[in-house]
């Protein structure tokens, strides 16, 4: 008899885990709170370990083909003039724009399509309660149904509700002092294939990024101490953004006007999830629910994908005992997170303006060097 696993969350980590678990012979059910599969989302880059996971799944080429077509990153002045530009063709995969840039929804769908061959997906439902013993977990759903599973894996976002049910009061978030809004706006003739990034006074920034769907992805961000804005209604969040960016300049007016009619508005206050443990009996955390750090760690998919896959978990099928059931899943990302997911408030507060300053400084230094060529003045012997 196959072991049964419940995954909650049908995005990058959840779909990755569903694919590997299903192929390994587990009976997998994925429950998703949204009424249907969620497309959309902003650009993420896939590098290093995350790309290796895609390669092992046979999806690397498909992910590249579904990329956004972004050709590089440019920092702009208020009048739109470019002051620093880093093209992918010059910097390869190490620049601000990675070789594999893909929308979160496109990556999630790419993972979902093969995962659906190995798992059962249930939408418009969520976990309302979990009662577990040494043999399994009895799960009560918001729809009223109750089912028993050998293991439950929480692969939800940073603000996971299921995590709070199973690990009440254990989350110790590190707030990054950065509030962000993402949404899609109509593409106009002036939108090119670069990620254009503008910084205004007051810790405000506006960025526009291309996609492969004929639209443009907008981001507004503000450096400030958290004030519970993530709990506000969408109308209140939009009103606050309109007030905050009213005089920001560049294309703020366009972005704010389109914000009123967008159908994929997303707002959050950036924080890193910090947990003393990632498992509780038959329940384990993975992806952003376990260690999400958002763009303070890089707007990337490495951690969710690594968190959805591990040789130990899927090859050994370690679901025999309570400790192994969740401990094996925890092992998915522990080593990776220990090395790569160290984020702090100072980094989040300084990274955005520092990167812009560094690029401008680099460009200025190159301009000075070009305009003032060396005349080969010799250095005196003994000189320092």
pLDDT digits (tens, 9 = 90+) for 66-76: 888 889 889 99
| SS3 of residue 254 by DSSP | helix
Q: Comparing C-alpha atoms, which of 115, 169, 125, 173 is closest to residue 145? A: 125
| SS3 of residue 264 by DSSP | coil
- Gap between the Cα atoms of 237 and 301, Å rounded: 26
Backbone dihedral angles phi then psi of residue 136, each to the nearest 5 degrees:
175, -170
The number of CA neighbours under 13 Å toward the Cβ of 162 is: 33
Domain ranges of the chain: 4-67+103-173+273-340
Chain centre to alpha carbon of residue 223: 19
Q: Could you tell me the two tokens for 360?
A: 């401008």
pTM: 0.75
CB atoms within 10 A of CB 67: 20
Mean pLDDT of 119-138: 94
Q: Could you tell me the two tokens for 177?
A: 């002092």
CATH 3.40.50.2300 fits 4-67+103-173+273-340, yes or no: no
- Answer yes or no: is pLDDT of 336 > 50: no
Q: Comparing C-alpha atoms, which of 68, 43, 67, 41 is closest to residue 183? A: 41
The pLDDT assigned to 370 comes to 53
The pLDDT assigned to 372 comes to 55
188 bridge partner residues: none
Backbone dihedral angles phi then psi of residue 381, each to the nearest 5 degrees:
-60, 135
pLDDT one-digit tens code per residue, 264-314: 999 998 888 888 888 888 998 888 887 766 544 444 454 555 554 443 344
Least confident range of 103-117, 255-269, 276-290: 276-290
Mean pLDDT of 242-259: 97
What confidence category does residue 13 fall into, taking pLDDT thresholds of 50, 70 and 90? confident
Residue the block writes with tokens 């400030």: 224
Torsion angle, alpha carbons of 35, 38, 42, 43, to 10: 160
Angle ∠(40,118,27) on CA atoms, nearest 5: 120
Percent of the chain with pLDDT over 90: 44
- Gap between the Cα atoms of 363 and 23, Å rounded: 50
Mean pLDDT of 330-342: 41
- Gap between the Cα atoms of 349 and 337, Å rounded: 21
- Answer yes or no: is pLDDT of 243 > 60: yes
The pLDDT assigned to 317 comes to 44
Query: For the chain, what is the mean pLDDT?
Result: 79
The pLDDT assigned to 331 comes to 38
């Amino acid at each position: 008899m196959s072991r049964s696993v419940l995954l909650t969350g049908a995005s990058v980590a959840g779909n990755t885990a569903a694919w590997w678990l299903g192929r390994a012979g587990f009976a997998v059910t994925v429950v998703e709170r949204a009424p249907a599969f969620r497309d959309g989302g902003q650009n993420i880059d896939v590098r290093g370990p995350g790309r290796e996971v895609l390669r092992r799944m046979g999806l690397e080429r498909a992910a590249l083909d579904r990329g956004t077509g972004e050709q590089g990153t440019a920092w702009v002045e208020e009048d739109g003039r470019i002051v620093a530009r880093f093209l992918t063709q010059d910097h390869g995969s190490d620049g601000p724009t990675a070789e594999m840039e893909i929308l979160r929804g496109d990556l999630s769908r790419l993972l979902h399509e093969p995962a659906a061959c190995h798992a059962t997906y249930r939408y418009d439902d969520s976990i309302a309660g979990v009662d577990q013993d040494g043999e399994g977990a009895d799960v009560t759903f918001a729809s009223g149904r109750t089912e028993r599973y050998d293991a439950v894996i929480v692969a939800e976002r940073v603000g996971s509700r299921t995590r709070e049910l199973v690990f009440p009061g254990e989350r110790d978030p590190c707030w990054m002092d950065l509030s962000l809004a993402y949404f899609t706006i109509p593409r106009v003739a002036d939108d090119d294939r670069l990620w254009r990034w503008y910084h205004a006074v007051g810790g405000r920034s506006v960025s526009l990024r291309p996609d492969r769907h004929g639209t443009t992805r907008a981001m507004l961000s503000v450096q400030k101490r958290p004030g519970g804005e993530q709990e506000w209604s969408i109308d209140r969040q939009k009103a606050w953004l309109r007030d905050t960016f009213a005089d920001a300049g560049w294309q703020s007016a366009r972005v704010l006007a389109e914000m009123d009619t967008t159908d994929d508005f997303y707002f959050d206050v950036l924080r890193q999830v910090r947990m003393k443990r990632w498992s509780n009996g038959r329940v384990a955390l993975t992806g952003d629910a376990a260690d999400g750090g958002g763009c303070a760690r890089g707007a990337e998919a490495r951690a969710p994908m690594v968190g959805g896959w591990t040789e130990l978990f899927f090859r050994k099928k370690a679901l025999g005992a309570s400790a192994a059931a969740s401990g094996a899943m925890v092992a998915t990302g522990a080593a990776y997170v220990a090395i790569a997911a160290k984020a702090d408030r100072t980094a989040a507060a300084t990274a955005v303006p520092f990167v812009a300053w560094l690029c401008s400084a680099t460009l200025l230094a190159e301009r000075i060097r070009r305009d003032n060529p060396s005349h080969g003045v010799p250095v005196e012997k003994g000189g320092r």
